Each structure stands twice: as C-alpha cells, then as structure tokens.
Amino acid sequence: MREDTRTLVFAAIVCVTCSLLLSGTAAGLKNLQQANEEFDVKRNIVKAFGIDISSMDRPGIEATYEKHISENKTSDDLPIFMWTEDGASDPSKFAFPISGKGLWSTLYGYLSLQGDMQTIAGISFYKHGETPGLGAEIEKPWFQKQFAGKKLYSDEGKPLDFQVLKPGANLDETSVDGISGATLTGKGVQALIRKDAADYAEYFKSIKGN
Amino acid sequence: MASAAKKLLMDPFSDNNPITIQVLGICSALAVTVKVDTAIVMSLALTSVVTLSNLVISLLRNVIPSGIRMIVEMAVIASLVIIADQLLRAFLFDISKQLSVFVGLIITNCIVMGRAEAFALQNPPKESLLDGLGNGIGYGIILIAVATIREFLGFGSLLNHQLLPDSYMGNGLALLAPGAFIILGLLIWGQRTISKYVEE
C-alpha cells in the first residue's frame, strides 16, 4: 500500500510540474507567436497583390500593408482585401482567400484581381503540406508569376473555367502550366480557384455594376 | 577532458552513431533533410531535448517508482519537446513552419526514449548529460550530411545560396524520400566500413 501511495504522489507531482512548465511557456510566448502568425498572413496578402516582397524586410512589409490594404466583408460575409494606391480614394485591386485540397494537404492562399475585376493580379500560397520539389513548387515564384494577367471572370462577370494544364500544353488566357510530377496538386489548385471564384462572382458583379 | 567522459561524448559521433550504427531516428532523417537549414534546426532541437531529458531522468532515477517509469519518461520528454516547439514558433517562425509536425514527433524519436531507458536510468547526471549531448550531435552530423547532399543535388544550392547556375534543372529524386533512403544507405555503408562494424 505504501508503495502505491508513493507512486500516486510521484505521478501527481510530475503532472503538476509538467503542466505548470508548459502553460507558463505557452502563456509567455503567446504574444510573439500571434504576432508571427498575423505577420505571415499580412505578408502573403501583400504578396498576393503582386508585390515583390523578396527584398523587403518585416517592417517594410508591415508598413506596406498598413498603407495600402484595408479589410472588408462582402454581403455574404466573405472576407475581402482591398488595395488602394497612394492618394487614390477608390481601391484598385481586390484579394480574397483561397483554399482547397491538394494531394496530401489543404492548400491555403490568396488571389487578387485587377480593378477590372476580371484579370488576376497575383496569387500566393502560405500553407500546404505538398511534396518538396514537386507539389510544393506552388509556392515558387515561377509558378505563381504565371497567374498575373490571366482572366478569372468573363466580361459579364461569370467565372471562366480556369485550368492548370500539363506542362508544355498550349496556354490561353485562362490557363497556366502545371508542375511536372505533381498533376494532382495542379488539379487541386484548379479546383480551388474555380470554387472560390464562383463564391466571389456575385460580389465582383455587384461592385462592377456601381 | 577525462577519457571516459570523452568516450561518452564522442562515441555516438561515429563508432556508435544512433543513425548509422543503431539505425534509430530514421523517420526524421528522411523527412526534414530536404534543406540544410531545416536539418540544422531539427538537430539543435533534438540535441537539446535528448540532453535535457537524459539529465532530468538521471536526476530522478532513484525516486521514479518502477511501475510508472516509462510514463514518467514520456511526460518529461513530451514536455521538453513542446517547449522546444513553442520556442521555435516564437523565434524561428519560418523554419518551424517547414518542420511542421516533425518537431512534435521528436517525442516518438527512438533516440530520445532509447537513451533515457538504456543510459540515463542507470547513470549519474553528468555522464547522462554527455551521453545525451553526444547522441544528439551524432544524429545531427548524419542529418546535416544527408541534407547537404540532397539540397545540393536537388536544388543546386546550400543553405539557400545558389551554387550551381540557374540552368541546373535540379534532381527530383534527391528531394523525395527514396533519394534520402539511397543517400542514407550509402552513408551507413561508408560509416560501417570505416568503423568495421558488423551486424551480429
């Protein structure tokens, strides 16, 4: 019996010590971690607007975000980000979050449109678990650069059938090259762009009408 | 350094390396060795965890009730790993994003539990600390060696500095798990030939 009591007391002490230590660490570092995550989101929104951030440092990116970007909600309560140039009163570019399944994981990113609400201005992916060197190429500049200038909506504001094709296929204004060895990731990107473009079609149609 | 202590620290570097001789910790050696910077951070994280867990468990070795010995070891290791993960998220956010679940999986890395069971439970704190440090570094040496080869062949770069011209296409095999298996296999072969280790 004495041995059992000792075991129980020891286990209790270990539990309490470990949990105190962990909650202390988590509480102490929470602010820093949150700041990191918020900054990561901001960095990717700035990037999605087609801005080259590779030579910008953290304060530079934060300043750009504060200066140009504002957040809003569509009438369907979907988040929308607006880019306003210096001195302009109306936003000139719009971005919205995109997400959907790749091969191994859910992909998260942002897509932005030019002021004509048809042409893609830029895209970024900030979270995914795809294979490095294959599916993970979606985060590389060569892949993302292709999207700028492509058409997402028709003149009437209807979503076009956006395509991620096999590398080397003939491209038109609604298709981009896929990644060789990562066909399924490409299919995922195509599907998520179509889905989110459909979700936002009404919104862009409504502001275009104004 | 006294020769006994030196042996404790240096043995796992080559003659008793946890990866190439004992074939432990293979999972992370394949998973986080695509780039050198993630391999370095992973090695540092594992080294600090195994060193501290060895120290703590060695300090507790005479008071841990034998019935719950393993659970106590797990609690100590898991706590240390979570603290390491939290620190990475706060201070090395980009790398911690790339390492994703693999920092958390240090908990199940056989090297950590193995050293606690096989060494720290029977030996005093100072020796256990050296043993943990040695095994962590031994693990790190292999991890960084594999990552150096993979990053160079796969991207033509080292530590994200481009070494080969842009026309270099990159070897996709080196970036995938099979490439890591081949490189690791060659390293194990080389290592065992040098140290004349034979599986019994």
Which range marks the domain in which residue A92 is found?
48-209
> Within a domain: residue B81?
yes
> Does residue B170 sit within a domain?
yes
A133 touches chain B (CB under 8 A): yes
Give the residue among B139, B112, B114 at the shortest CA–CA distance from B44.
B139
Does residue B1 fall inside a structural domain? Answer: no
Q: Does A11 contact B at CB distance below 8 Å?
A: yes
The Cα of B177 is separated from the nearest Cα of chain A by a number of Å equal to 10
Q: Which amino acid would we find at residue A154?
A: S
Is the CB of B172 inside 8 Å of chain A's CB atoms? yes
Quick one: which of B55, B21, B37 has its CA closest to B139? Answer: B21
3-state SS class at A193:
helix
> Would you call B165 exposed, middle or buried from its count of C-beta atoms within 10 A (0-12, 13-18, 19+)?
exposed
Residue B200 within a domain? no
B34 and chain A in contact, CB less than 8 A: yes
In a domain, A29, yes or no: no
Residue A1 is assigned to a structural domain of this protein: no
Q: Is residue B67 part of a domain?
A: yes
Phi, psi of A107 (to 5 degrees): -100, 140
CB contact (8 A) between residue B89 and residue A36: yes
Residue in B closest to A2 by C-alpha: B65
Pair A66, A60: CB distance under 8 Å: no
Is the pLDDT reported for residue A102 higher than 70? yes
Under 8 Å between Cβ of A179 and A166? no
- Is residue B2 situated within a structural domain? no
Tell me the per-residue pLDDT of B19-40, one tens digit each, with 9 for 90 and over: 888 888 888 888 888 889 889 9
Q: SS3 for A105? A: coil
Question: Based on the number of CB atoms within 10 Å of its own CB, is B2 exposed (0-12), middle (13-18) or buried (19 or more)?
Answer: exposed
Long-range CB pairs of A71-78 (<8 Å, 24+ gap) are A74/A200, A74/A202, A74/A203, A75/A202, A75/A203, A75/A206, A76/A199, A76/A202, A76/A203, A78/A199, A78/A200, A78/A203
Cβ-proximal residues to B38 (8 Å cutoff; 6+ apart), any chain? B32, B95, B98, B99, B147
> What is the pTM (predicted TM-score) of this model?
0.80
Chain A residues whose beta carbon lies within 8 Å of the beta carbon of residue B71? 11
The proportion of chain A whose per-residue pLDDT surpasses 70, expressed as a percent, equals 98
**A78 has a pLDDT exceeding 90:** no
The total number of structural domains that make up chain A:
1
A54 vs B122, more confident: B122
Distances (CA, A) of B82 to A71, A155, A197: 34, 52, 39
DSSP state of A70: E
Please report which confidence band the pLDDT of residue B73 belongs to, taking 50, 70 and 90 as the band edges.
Answer: very high
Q: What is the pLDDT of residue B1?
A: 59
- B3 falls within a domain: no
Residue B87 to residue A11, Cβ atoms within 8 A: no
Residue A14, in any domain of the structure: no
Taking the Cβ of residue B169 and every Cβ of chain A, the question of whether any pair is shorter than 8 Å is answered with: no
> To which H or E segment does residue B83 belong?
helix B69-91
Residue A58 in any domain: the answer is yes
pLDDT band at A1 (very low <50, low <70, confident <90, very high): low
Residue A74: per-residue pLDDT: 79
Please give the order of strands across the beta sheet that includes A106-113: A69-73, A79-83, A93-101, A106-113, A120-127
For the stretch B86-120, pLDDT in tens is 999 999 988 888 787 788 888 888 899 999 999 99
A5 is a domain residue: no
What ipTM was assigned to the predicted interfaces of this complex? 0.76
Q: Is residue A37 part of a domain?
A: no
Overall domain count for chain B: 1
| Structural domain contains residue A27 | no
CB contact, 8 Å: B89 with chain A?
A: yes
Q: A182: which 2 tokens?
A: 């990562």
Instruction: Indicate whether A169 belongs to any domain.
Output: yes
Whether residue B56 is contained in a domain is answered as yes
Range of the structural domain that residue B185 is part of: 12-195
Alpha-carbon distances of A153 from A78, A79, A100, A207, rounded to whole Å: 18, 19, 19, 14
Taking the CA of residue A41 and the nearest CA in chain B, the distance in Å comes to: 12
Other residues' Cβ atoms within 10 Å of the Cβ of residue A63: 12
Q: How far apart are CA A188 and CA A183, in angstroms?
A: 9
Mean pLDDT comparison of A147-156, A171-180, B49-58, highest-scoring range: B49-58
Q: What is the mean pLDDT of residues A47-53?
A: 84
Nearest of B104, B116, B80 to residue B27 by alpha carbon: B104
| Record: contact B65-A10, CB cut-off 8 A | yes
Q: For B110-122, b where at least 16 C-beta lie within 10 A, e where not — what string?
A: ebbbbbbeebbbe
User: pLDDT, tens digit, for every residue of B128-175?
Assistant: 999 999 999 999 999 999 999 999 998 888 888 888 887 888 787 888
